Amino acid sequence: MKIVILDGYTENPGDLSWEGLEKLGDLTVYDRTSLTDVQEVIDRIGDAEIVFTNKTPMPREVFDTCTNIRYVGVLATGYNVVDVDAAKEKNIPVCNIPTYGTAAVGQFAIALLLEICHHVGHHDKAVHEGRWENNPDWCFWDYPLIELDGKVMGIIGYGRIGQATGRIAQALGMKVLAYDAYRNPALESETCQYADLDEVLAKSDVIALHCPLFSETEGMINRESIAKMKDGVIILNNSRGPLIVEKDLAEALNSGKVAAAGLDVVSTEPIKGENPLLKAKNCILTPHISWAPKESRQRLMDIAVDNLEAFLRKEAQNVVNF
């Protein structure tokens, strides 16, 4: 059985092992495959039966041409790069990795927030440049420093990752207002309550996005929703870039309506030079790395192997297109 991984480098730049998949078939791993050249994708898949992709697109043409494909594994949670309808028509299951990065993504959301509150990286650089040594005062800071205790974090999307972020926020002394289509009363407490969206927007000092990208959530952070927020709100997004209308957020940052934003995702990735957030005030941007600690990537690898083993037993799991 031939197994092809189209873009393995991001998942495994060399610090993990492909051994689990090597045991299941004749494995070929490509570090990267073109995101735009469909013929290269087709040529690399060839007569393989099992195909794994992270961000390499697999449009209908791939399924029409590579007729040996029996299974597609996505090395991520999002699977929009695969034409799942075309795969379904050919009875090919597409399986994703739904739960590997919960702790890491929640942790990263708080890391973005703490960097906004303290600008640790900036002040470390200032010390190394000699500014503390040569400062006439005992200490100095270049940005307002923010204490989180007692402040309100609004979390839009209170599933596994939202809850992970909420637990850390509460440990920092914050109160959580959670908005989600599905409410679990067992999660409510003195420091965590569900609220409708407008209440979350109006009362939160910090708003963290942890919701999926659907037609109804695309662009949900826009000029109108920002107008409902507190002056000086902080916005965090390490979920999906298109949740935010970037031009509107940039305008709000530059006007001071939004005090700061911490973003690990943008609408088009990798980011384009014309993205207005690159020149916006007080906007921290990181290159979609919330998911990437070694522990999370190992978990992803283990689930990818489990998914394929389950398929080979005719017990497919984490199937997104049937």
Say what the pLDDT of residue 268 is. Answer: 96
- pLDDT tens per residue, the chain (322 residues)? 999 999 999 999 999 999 999 999 999 999 999 999 999 999 999 999 999 999 999 999 999 999 999 999 999 998 999 999 999 999 999 999 999 999 999 999 999 999 999 999 999 999 999 999 999 999 999 999 999 999 999 999 999 999 999 999 999 999 999 999 999 999 999 999 999 999 999 999 999 999 999 999 999 999 999 999 999 999 999 999 999 999 999 999 999 999 999 999 999 999 999 999 999 999 999 999 999 999 999 999 999 999 999 999 999 999 999 9
Give the whole-angstrom CA distance, residue 306 versus residue 309. 5
Say what the pLDDT of residue 46 is. Answer: 98
The sign of the torsion formed by the CA atoms of 149, 150, 156, 159 equals positive
Which of 3.40.50.720, 3.50.50.60, 3.30.1370.160, 1.10.260.40 is the CATH number of 102-285?
Answer: 3.40.50.720
Say what the pLDDT of residue 5 is. Answer: 98
Half-sphere exposure of 316 (CA within 13 A, CB side): 16
Name the CATH superfamily, with its identifier, for domain 2-100+294-312. Answer: NAD(P)-binding Rossmann-like Domain (3.40.50.720)
- pTM higher than 0.85, yes or no? yes
For residue 193, the tally of other CB atoms under 10 A from its CB is 13
* H or E element at residue 167: helix 160-171
Nearest to 265 by CA among 213, 320, 194: 213
Say what the pLDDT of residue 154 is. Answer: 98
Say what the pLDDT of residue 3 is. Answer: 98
Assess contact for 304 and 317: CB atoms under 8 A. no
| 223 φ, ψ (degrees, to nearest 5) | -55, -40
The strand pair at 206-209 and 192-194 is best described as unpaired
Looking at the chain, which residues constitute the CATH 3.40.50.720 domain(s)?
Answer: 2-100+294-312, 102-285
* H or E element at residue 162: helix 160-171
Assess contact for 93 and 72: CB atoms under 8 A. yes
- pLDDT tens-digit map of 6-34: 999 999 999 999 999 999 999 999 999 99
Give the whole-angstrom CA distance, residue 125 versus residue 130. 9
Distances (CA, A) of 290 to 49, 127, 183, 285, 293: 31, 27, 25, 12, 8
Say what the pLDDT of residue 263 is. Answer: 99
Q: What are the residue numbers of the active site?
A: 240, 269, 288
* H or E element at residue 310: helix 294-312
Say what the pLDDT of residue 226 is. Answer: 98
| 111 φ, ψ (degrees, to nearest 5) | -60, -45
Q: If you count them, how many residues does the chain have? A: 322
| 285 φ, ψ (degrees, to nearest 5) | -125, 130
Say what the pLDDT of residue 190 is. Answer: 97
